[in-house]
Amino acid sequence: MSLGLREVSPDEVPDWDRRAVEGPGGDVYQSLAWAAYRARWGWRPRYLLFDDGFPLLSLERPWPLVGGAGAYLSRGPVSGGEPAQRTAERLVAAADHLARRGVDVVSSDAEIPAVSGYPALIERGGFRPIEEVQPSRHRMRLPLAAADEDALFRGFGKSIRQRVRAAERAGLRVVRYDCRAPAGSDEGLEAPGGGLEGDVVRPVLARFHGLLEATAARRHFWLAGREAFLDWALAALGAGLLVYLEVRDPADALIAGATFYRHGGRWTYSLSGDVVAERERHPGGVPLVLWRAIQLARREGCDEFDLAGVDVPGARREPREGESMYGLYFFKRLFGAEWLELTGNHERVHRPTRYLLGRVAGRVAGLGRAG
């Protein structure tokens, strides 16, 4: 069945984030804050609204010289808790709509379980699987609804429990940067001194980016530059979509830090880094910050804690012992996380020739800017 939709301004949908981010299957990459951030870095947001009130964000990159554009429905359409057939119909309707408006290719990486049958449904609608836009295709999840905190902790691997307790005995503290944090202190966490104003938080997040740069160099993953990282992190923090937790020792020295997204009834582990020189003295820095995040997610009534992905290009499956990502996979398994196979990135090409020319023109323009 064909679904009606139209383009709107974000002002027309005052509850956009409630539907696209906070609802079932919602995602921060469908938020108004993400759209505004991407617009500042050269993308063109298009806000689509289905007749039943369901929103969908399309981010488009116009091709230099040749006209047309490519569209990315980042993590969309979100499932909204509806049957996979309905979500597939939304994707096809959105692609048809964008094609009529000069978009040459539409990419989507909705986080919908593969077991739902969604991949086959959208492939019948003209989409084909492609390599991921995001680092991982699948993710690891820790269910929260059926266990109290003590039971969750007992379910961790012995080495994780020991490292967390050792960190606590050593006096490591976790500072919570979170615009939605309740007034007063929360057990095991501190509020930052000086509040959450930009001039206070910006240097804190800049210091965290320094940790991430060192981690990216060791693990060989892509990391946004400092200004782009700060632009998004400050915007997401201000919108209540991002939480930054920082581990400090009794002398207030930085040990580790991690960011988390709050969306779709879950918290998602995003980025983390630690001070390598402190690992021998404080090996529990990262386990402690993860445990505090899991506690917070459960206290907010989340159904799950998302420990993100561990698969890499060329190996879109559970890592095996001896492979590069196995250590991270094993670490997340020690927290009780289970593997969740997702649909992955798909695209539908409407105008192959202009798509090819647009990609070539984009690369040439990029080389010109670099030169």
Question: Which pLDDT value is given to residue 366?
Answer: 60
Lowest mean pLDDT among 101-110, 114-123, 221-230: 221-230
Question: Which pLDDT value is given to residue 185?
Answer: 59
Question: Which pLDDT value is given to residue 54?
Answer: 93
Q: In angstroms, how far is CA 363 from the centroid of its own chain?
A: 26
Q: In angstroms, how far is CA 1 from the centroid of its own chain?
A: 31
Per-residue pLDDT tens over the stretch 235-257: 999 999 999 999 999 999 999 99
Rounded percentage of the chain residues whose pLDDT exceeds 70: 94
Rounded-to-integer distance, Cα 190 and Cα 184, Å: 9
End-to-end CA distance of the chain: 50
Q: Which residue has the tokens 């559970």?
A: 318
Cis peptide before 352 (omega within 30 of 0): no
pTM check: above 0.85: yes
Per-residue pLDDT tens over the stretch 284-313: 999 999 999 999 999 999 999 999 988 876
Lowest mean pLDDT among 146-150, 173-177, 298-302: 146-150
Contact 147, 336 (CB under 8 A): no
Q: In angstroms, how far is CA 123 from the centroid of its own chain?
A: 24
* 315 pLDDT more than 80: no
**291: phi then psi, degrees, rounded to nearest 5:** -65, -40
Per-residue pLDDT tens over the stretch 60-100: 999 998 899 999 999 999 998 899 999 999 999 999 999 99
Binned at pLDDT 50, 70 and 90, residue 221 comes out as confident
Nearest to 211 by CA among 350, 219, 18: 219
Question: Which pLDDT value is given to residue 361?
Answer: 80
Binned at pLDDT 50, 70 and 90, residue 28 comes out as very high
Question: Which pLDDT value is given to residue 186?
Answer: 67
> What pairs with residue 106 in β-bridges?
71, 348
* 197 pLDDT more than 90: no
Average pLDDT, the chain: 91
* 371 pLDDT more than 50: no
